[in-house]
Amino acid sequence: MTMLVYRTFSKGISADATLDNSTYSASMLLDDTVGTLSGPSQEMTMPDENNPIWKRSKVFLECVVVMWMSMRKALLETKYVTEKQKLDNLETKVFKKLFQCFRTTSLIGTTMLIGSMLPPSSMDGITQSVLSLLNEKVVDESIMEPYLDATAQWRIEYLFDIINSGLSILQTEISVPEHSPPNKKKKSKELPPVDRLRKALRYLRYLLRSYSTNQLITCSYLYQLEQFYKKLSMIRHVIDLRLSRELSDVGIPDDLIVEAFEMKQTLAAILLNCKDRGEDDKDHIIRFTTDMCDELRWFETDVLSNLAALYSDDIVSFLIRLSEIVLRCIGLTMAAWDFSKPLRTPSGSETHIEGESSEDHLSYPDIAGRVVMAFCSSSTPGDLLPAVLTAAKQLLDNGCTMFSHLLPVLDYVPKWIMTCTANDDTLKEKEVGDAYLALWRTFLDHSEYTETLLDKSINVCAVHLLNYLTQHNEDNHDIQDPRLHDFETTMPISIILNRVIFRNKTLIT
């Protein structure tokens, strides 16, 4: 089977004497133009991956990997040492040929999987090539994952060095751009600072997203994660500079600022929820909770205040994306840790840790609820409505936030929708309707949401809709015969009635 694949992707390899004619004939039926290297230094044109022959050959290769993985345990027995050596040698040739020819195609994932099963001694040259590629170039998203996965298994410390170098940009090149000296030309090939930061965030995001690498670093490399978190703490200073009127360019694109801020929030939730911590690490959990509470307070006082004093369109877009991250990460943090349980601090802890910090641990849901409520303002863009409603639902589901603090969010939604309609602020009706209905259903399931409160919420909707329809009719009073005009469902009617109230029996009755 291996020889069959080998002949498919590489031309000019002599047939093995142990293969019968039928196998040899079958291998020749496959398209030899997929890979025609006669030697290790010869180049080839990129194949057409939509070609049926290519797709069939790819399936053959995947079958070889499955067969090989299923036989690995048996081949480890001493009686099969000769067979294992022959197979390793053959698969090494296949791997090196495939890596050389098809590293920029969809075969790279299967190729790197083959490489991960080979003896380390046969991987030295390839390993160095992969490490150089990851360090010196911006790897395409479609092929980055296999490279990172393989490197994490070979030399994960090398990836940590790349990430550390990129995140250090926040402390050196970007924090005070107006006073930065001109960049000197460096002898080594090095990406620009912004590209290095972007690459570091991409690599770190993959390591956290992949199950295998996530388990590896959260169990064995927590110190590295904390170092990444500390370096990302500078992003708050970058955001403050971005929102200031004195500085128009902080040297880093908005999308990268938002991505770095989201990564910091994600790392906080991960570090907070790391398992198998000893009793002495309780202060670690309190420290991170305190930091997250401090960040929510900073966002409420220093960032949300800018929503009421918007002075440019690009700032509006930036604040919307930043706010979406905060609202989404509130849900992530609430899912990562049970804030209803008080923490037991170590016996040797200082008094201020037991008091002030542990109080922050318990108050995080309330601070988050206050931040969510702060978005219920006439100055808040309609784009944030789904995210605000989703965050409110997650806080209510968790049960740690006081019910009375979130009820005003539900009752403010009709007014928010009317304000967006009056300002021609287009809403994504399906997203808003789904989030609104989900929040209301959560309230209906809550024991404190009585019939009286339900009637009040319905009345709020009715009053806003009646006022809106009255004004809408006055604006169209010149229509002499309404029967001659087709009725157009406006946004408030579509969202509040069609997508929410009419879809729940309790709300209708």
Which of 180, 291, 306 shows the shortest CA–CA distance to 239? 306
Asked if residue 373 lies in contact with residue 408, where contact means CB atoms within 8 angstroms, the answer is yes
pTM for this structure? 0.77
Q: Distance between CA atoms of 273 and 295, rounded to whole angstroms?
A: 18
pLDDT classification of 349: cutoffs 50, 70, 90: very low
List of long-range contacts for 339-346, beta carbons under 8 Å, 24+ apart: 339/364, 339/365, 339/398, 339/400, 340/398, 340/399, 340/400, 343/282, 343/285, 343/286, 344/279, 344/282, 345/282, 345/283, 345/286, 346/279, 346/280, 346/282, 346/283
Q: Distance between CA atoms of 87 and 91, rounded to whole angstroms?
A: 6
* Mean pLDDT, range 461-470, rounded to an integer: 90
Q: Terminus-to-terminus CA distance in the chain, angstroms?
A: 67
pLDDT reported for residue 383: 92
pLDDT reported for residue 84: 80
What's the chain's average pLDDT? 77
pLDDT digits (tens, 9 = 90+) for 123-171: 667 777 777 777 776 677 767 777 787 777 778 888 899 999 999 988 7
Q: What are the distances in angstroms from CA 174 to CA 171, 177, 346? A: 7, 5, 39
Q: What is the DSSP string of 313-378?
A: HHHHHHHHHHHHHHHHHHHHHHHH--TTSPP---TT--HHIIIIIHHHHHHHHHHHHHHHHHT-ST
Tokens read off for 160: 């940590």
pLDDT digits (tens, 9 = 90+) for 246-260: 666 778 899 999 999
| Cα torsion 91, 94, 97, 98: sign | negative
Q: Distance between CA atoms of 263 and 260, rounded to whole angstroms?
A: 5
* Mean pLDDT, range 489-505, rounded to an integer: 89
Percent above pLDDT 90 for the chain: 26
Which residues, 6 or more positions from 166, have their beta carbon under 8 angstroms from its beta carbon? 196, 197, 198, 199, 200, 201, 203
Which residues, 6 or more positions from 312, have their beta carbon under 8 angstroms from its beta carbon? none
pLDDT digits (tens, 9 = 90+) for 163-176: 999 999 887 755 44
pLDDT reported for residue 83: 80
Tokens read off for 208: 């956290």
pLDDT classification of 464: cutoffs 50, 70, 90: very high
Q: Distance between CA atoms of 436 and 503, rounded to whole angstroms?
A: 11
pLDDT reported for residue 174: 53
Q: Distance between CA atoms of 139 and 146, rounded to whole angstroms?
A: 11
pLDDT reported for residue 361: 55
Q: Distance between CA atoms of 227 and 164, rounded to whole angstroms?
A: 8
pLDDT classification of 36: cutoffs 50, 70, 90: very low
Residue 441 predicted with pLDDT over 50? yes
* Mean pLDDT, range 12-31, rounded to an integer: 37
pLDDT classification of 327: cutoffs 50, 70, 90: very high
pLDDT reported for residue 110: 80
Asked if residue 91 lies in contact with residue 123, where contact means CB atoms within 8 angstroms, the answer is no
Percent above pLDDT 70 for the chain: 75
Residue 412 predicted with pLDDT over 90? yes
Residue 387 predicted with pLDDT over 90? yes
How far is Cα of residue 115 from the mean position of the Cα atoms in its chain?
A: 28
Asked if residue 118 lies in contact with residue 91, where contact means CB atoms within 8 angstroms, the answer is yes
Buried b (16+ CB within 10 A) or exposed e, 17-48: eeeeeebeeebeebebebbebeeeeeeeeebe
Other Cβ atoms within 10 Å of 484 Cβ, number = 7
Buried b (16+ CB within 10 A) or exposed e, 73-98: eeeeeeeeeeebeebbeebbebbbbb
Residue 245 predicted with pLDDT over 80? no
pLDDT classification of 475: cutoffs 50, 70, 90: low
Tokens read off for 124: 């030295």
pLDDT classification of 479: cutoffs 50, 70, 90: low
CA angle 376, 381, 386 (to 5 degrees): 70
**Averaging pLDDT over each range in 26-40, 203-217, 267-281, which range is the top one?**
203-217
Asked if residue 269 lies in contact with residue 330, where contact means CB atoms within 8 angstroms, the answer is no
pLDDT reported for residue 37: 31
**Averaging pLDDT over each range in 56-65, 103-112, 224-233, 273-282, which range is the top one?**
224-233
Q: Counting runs of H as helices and runs of E as strands, what totals does the chain give?
A: 23, 0
Residue 31 predicted with pLDDT over 50? no
pLDDT digits (tens, 9 = 90+) for 214-235: 888 888 888 899 999 999 999 9
Q: What are the distances in angstroms from CA 279 to CA 209, 284, 299, 348, 423? A: 28, 10, 32, 11, 55
Residue 42 predicted with pLDDT over 50? no
pLDDT reported for residue 41: 40
Residue 293 predicted with pLDDT over 70? yes
Residue 301 predicted with pLDDT over 70? yes
pLDDT digits (tens, 9 = 90+) for 161-217: 999 999 998 877 554 444 444 454 444 467 788 888 999 999 999 889 888 788 888
* Mean pLDDT, range 329-345, rounded to an integer: 77
Tokens read off for 233: 């703490």
What backbone torsions phi and psi does residue 103 show, to the nearest 5 degrees? -70, -20
Which carries the bigger pLDDT value, residue 489 or residue 383?
383
Tokens 């009635």 sit on residue:
497
Tokens read off for 158: 């090398």
